[in-house]
Amino acid sequence: MVNIINSTLPVRMQILEKRAYNRYVLLLNTKKLETKSMIELEVGEEYLAEVYEDKGVISFNNLLKKPKIRLFEEGAELIEKLLQEGDEKDWYKKFIIQRLMESKSAYEFEIYKEMFFAFFEGIYHIPFVYEGNRALLEAKKNGNILEVYLYFEIFGALKIIIDNGKITRIQTPFTKVAHFLNEYFKFEVVSTLNPMFVFKRLMDIKG
């Protein structure tokens, strides 16, 4: 019988080294492991995966790279205001522009710059802190349909589809998450789930 290792939820791991064509050294909790992967993994990046063990052999399912999320402790307060007041008076855009101009550090400026570029793609992109870990909320409205992307350290990515104020679909790339939260919601398991907005840095072109 296949046993789930340590948890009923996905686990975080970091890719430490690539040793051969498809062999990698990774850090799982505090333990280094060598494993094979048929997909290309990026050294130094963190991934979430479902981890199983069968007769001493460890296997990974649904290995997905974590999105890069900046530490933004004001994010939860900003999300709460959006939920309570909405954005009919465009206060959100004015707030971001004001904070861009008042930024006291390069890191703070980068946070608001990403939020600013996302907004002009029609996306509310707000990093926040949840239980001491970095998290992310993104929301985009198309007519009566609202798409919400959430990323939590414990669950990974979730996508919620809201039609006329009612939740119609919730998606996750992890079977474990779907089973764990099935008591509360019905989940649709998808092969991958990416953030709506990824900031693309401008490249200097010389020639």
Domains of the chain: 3-65 (2.40.50), 75-189 (no CATH)
3-state secondary structure labels for all residues of 39-100: CCCCCCCEEEEEEEEECCEEEEEEEEECCCCCCCCCHHHHHHHHHHHCCCCCHHHHHHHHHH
Cα-Cα end-to-end distance for the chain: 61
Structure pTM?
A: 0.85
pLDDT tens digit at each of 207 positions of the chain:
344 454 578 888 899 999 878 889 999 878 888 888 888 889 999 999 888 777 767 778 788 889 999 999 999 999 999 999 888 778 999 999 999 999 999 999 999 999 999 999 999 999 999 999 999 999 999 999 999 999 998 889 999 999 998 998 899 998 888 888 887 778 888 888 889 998 775 433 333
